[in-house]
Amino acid sequence: MIKTRYTKGRVRLKEGEYLRKNGTFEYRWTENRVRRSVYARTLDELRDKENAVLNGTAIVSNNIKSDKVPVERLCEDTNVNVDTTVNSYFEIWKNVKSGIRQTTFDTYLKLYNRYIGPNIGTISLKELSYSKVVMFYKSLIENRGLGISIVSNINIVLSMILNVAVKDGVLQTNPCTGAIKELNRKYSSTVKEVKALTGAEQAAFEEYLSRPGTYHYLCPLFTVMLYTGIRVGELCALRWEDVDFEKNVIHINHTLVYDGTSSSEMTLNPPKTKTSERCIPMNAKVREALIEEKKHQESCGIRCKVRVSGYKDFVFLDGNGDLYHLKKLNHKLDRISIAIDKEIKSKGSVNGLTGFPHVHNHMLRHTFATRMREAGADIKATADIMGHHEVGITLNTYTDASEKFKMKEISLLETGGGNLAG
């Protein structure tokens, strides 16, 4: 039986792994429409057996138990029909879903439990029309203040659940189809576009951190972010063995997952996508920042106190030897932004700036992509460095052309346009 999704030592269990009441571990999977389980005294032993199952090398013995319940019985036992509620089909979807990363699945669960379940979970499928879905989304935008991007994610979850009902023959069509397209016409302005720092803003940010002061110790960390385009989860997961000073590259092998709540646990997961597992070249600025970070930790006696998913010796640590995470770094950036803004306003203006924007982690990634574009870097190389599988993502999402850069680009018509008359 499922007691918890964590071990007593607060190690997060993977999908299919369970801690039993007697302290042993169980891994469940489905084979030929039959549910099976394998047991072990320790988690390490269980994962050895789990890998054998996944690799097809497991030997079926008395230690592998069959539930003897075909998968199709799951739906038969619930007596699904048009009177079945959204909540009931949500439970069915959780059993039949596949190909979803655990972190993504956790996000889907939060969206359902926060928005879908409390509002339309008790509605029967026959009552859930296209117009009701649209009105539900409009209510989230107008009454709850959600942006269209978050509502689009909610629509993804609800649509996946109702697609199961369509495939079961309970619904003829999915009432979510076209709902977001309808809302985009009216609410596209609610999308909060992430902006890159301008050249002057980046210079002010770097100059402030370079000075001795409250936040100077964070200069190496944010320098690495600004000059590699690394995702914040990848940065927090970096270990010293990932940094190759001889070849001047950083190996991206993991991403840190942590939602910043006291009940959650840090885990290391594979990078976001296959292309996210990559090598990032170090320029002189990044190399110097990492060396500075190492010297700072040595001089202050900072040692890594944590072990996450079996890994230790992480690169970026706070003064207590603990890891940073997204929320912690966003809080630091919030304080830094306020300090820079206050300083600029006290002087009237600095290098044409009369104020400073509120900076968050993702802005630094956008800033890297924009500076690369302005420098004339190859877009495919930039996409590879950032871990994008398509250059279109880099171009359309991550680059903001400055007015100066646009003027430079359009001037190419004058200097290289040639003789139009032939």
Render pLDDT for 244-294 as a digit per residue (tens, 0 to 9).
999 999 999 999 988 666 545 788 888 877 788 899 999 999 999 999 999
How many other CB atoms sit within 10 Å of the CB of residue 400? 17
The amino acid that residue 341 corresponds to is: D
Report the alpha-carbon distance of residue 172 to residue 223 in Å, rounded.
54
Q: Is there a common fold for 78-190 and 199-407?
A: no
Q: Judge whether residue 419 has pLDDT over 80.
A: no
For 78-190, CATH gives 1.10.150.130
Q: Judge whether residue 415 has pLDDT over 70.
A: no
Average pLDDT, integer, range 114-121? 94
Beta strands in 241-380 (DSSP E): 243-244, 249-252, 255-257, 267-269, 278-281
What tokens were used for 361?
């982690």
Q: Judge whether residue 34 has pLDDT over 70.
A: no
Higher pLDDT, residue 55 or 322:
322
Structure-derived torsion over alpha carbons of residues 138, 139, 140, 143, reported in degrees to the nearest 10 = 120
**∠ CA 269-275-281 to the nearest 5 degrees?**
95
Q: What is the pLDDT of residues 179-200, one digit of tens each?
A: 998 888 787 765 567 789 999 9
Higher pLDDT, residue 92 or 344:
344
Fold topology of 199-407: hpI Integrase; Chain A (1.10.443)
- The pTM score is 0.66
Report the alpha-carbon distance of residue 43 to residue 279 in Å, rounded.
31
**∠ CA 17-18-19 to the nearest 5 degrees?**
140
Structure confidence at residue 72 (pLDDT)? 42
Distance of CA 182 to the CA centre of its chain: 27
* Domain boundaries defined on the chain: 17-70, 78-190, 199-407
Q: Which band of pLDDT confidence, cut at 50, 70 and 90, is reported for residue 60? A: very low
Q: Which band of pLDDT confidence, cut at 50, 70 and 90, is reported for residue 58? A: very low
Burial class (CB in 10 A: 0-12, 13-18, 19+), 62: exposed
Instruction: Name the phi and psi angles at 267, rounded to 5.
Output: -140, 155
